[in-house]
Amino acid sequence: MATLDSSIVNIALPTLTKELHADLYQVKWVVIVYLLAITCVLLPFGRLSDIYGRKRVMLSGFLVFIISSILCGGAPTLVSLVMARLLQGIGAAMLMANGPAIITATFPTGERGKALGILAMVVSSGLISGPSVGGALISSFDWRAIFFINIPIGMLGVFLAKKYLGKDPAPKSRATFDWTGAVLQLLFILTFTVIMEPPAISIAGSAPLPLARWLLATVCLLFGYLFYRFEQQAKSPLVDFSLFRIRSFWMANLGAFFTFVSFSAVFVLTPFFMEEVLRFTPDRAGLLMTAVPLTILVVAPVSGRLSDRLGTSGLCSFGALIAALTLFWMAGATGFGYEPNISLVAMTTSLSLIGLSSGLFQSPNNSAIMEDVPFAKLSVASALLATFRNLGLVTGTGLSASLFAWRFEQTGDYTSSIHLAFLVAGAVSLASMVISLGRGRKTRGRQR
């Protein structure tokens, strides 16, 4: 349900701009605030689950998600929709922080991989069905249906969780929650995100003045430094910074961040190109967008097996290179790009190549992140992996939408504006390739 609501909204963005009388510059916050909320509270809810019980937090997450979905579907304005999506992101984080942990705690070592593989298939099914389900709901009803569909799914989730999830074991001793660390990491992530798009401040009715990026960057670094120093001294830290002494861990996370920054341009802007330039209906656009997750579903398991034999660096680098070349192709840098006369074969091929690059990159990169992590710190490492992934999606969504809006304001041309965003996204993919190459092959096994 959480992944479905990430992909299902992207296909609705062109419709929301018309129905809510807004532009992409404003509507993008429907996506950004959801991902940002997840990113900001994923680590705190993971820690709270360890303290107060995973089942309790997961049930609360379902209830928050149901209530927020009702608010999203009934939102009369863009502002109210964004606020409801903020609450929905909090509910999604409560669910995401617990799924892998519950499976890891429930299944023995011999069955755990298979169980986590089934979870990965469910996640992929959410991404796969999002665009097509969203397009069909919008075409048959309206955009509000993409949120109301969560209500029966959430109610079923509450029923199944109550019936089948075991009772949370009583903790041997009640650990303390790192509230200071949670607040500092929240402030750090927020300031990092708004560097891409500084907010404007109006004093006593004066003309809005945007905050300087250098000032925001300075404040961001200050919060990051304070968070690091406090976590080093905390008895029960939110983040174990000793993990970042592991070369493969921090480099693979950085590579994942850049990769998801680049992919965001495709996920956010391609539906606009299909519906505004090619004049596709939402259901047709959604059907074409499924080429990305369908290819991932086929390629990711194969690349995961190959990484066990060939190492992770080469596959990740190759995947990032394919992404960069495809984005340059889509941007018209090779003499061909997204144009009003583009064929369906070319559209499907470009999206399938993005799916191929993602499938080649993600499984080996996740293995690189986890392979050298001490066994006792796997849960923390998993939460950090998800945090970097979501932070990349948030940053990429804001960057690509801002580039598009700036270029469109200058030229009034949809196609050239999308080309600029894709060109920058391709350069970011090249950065991910360089990082993956610099990481090197696996050098040691997991510490226990």
Alpha-carbon span 105 to 79, nearest angstrom: 40
Buried b (16+ CB within 10 A) or exposed e, 338-362: beeebeeebbeebbbbbbbbbbbbb
pLDDT, residue 428, reads: 96
Question: Which stretches in the chain have pLDDT values below 70?
Answer: 104, 109-118, 120-121, 124-125, 127-128, 170-175, 196-211, 335, 375-379, 440-448
pTM of this prediction exceeds 0.85: no
pLDDT, residue 445, reads: 43
Q: In residues, how long is the chain?
A: 448
pLDDT, residue 391, reads: 86
Tens digits of residue pLDDT in 315-355 = 899 999 999 999 999 998 876 778 888 888 999 999 999 98
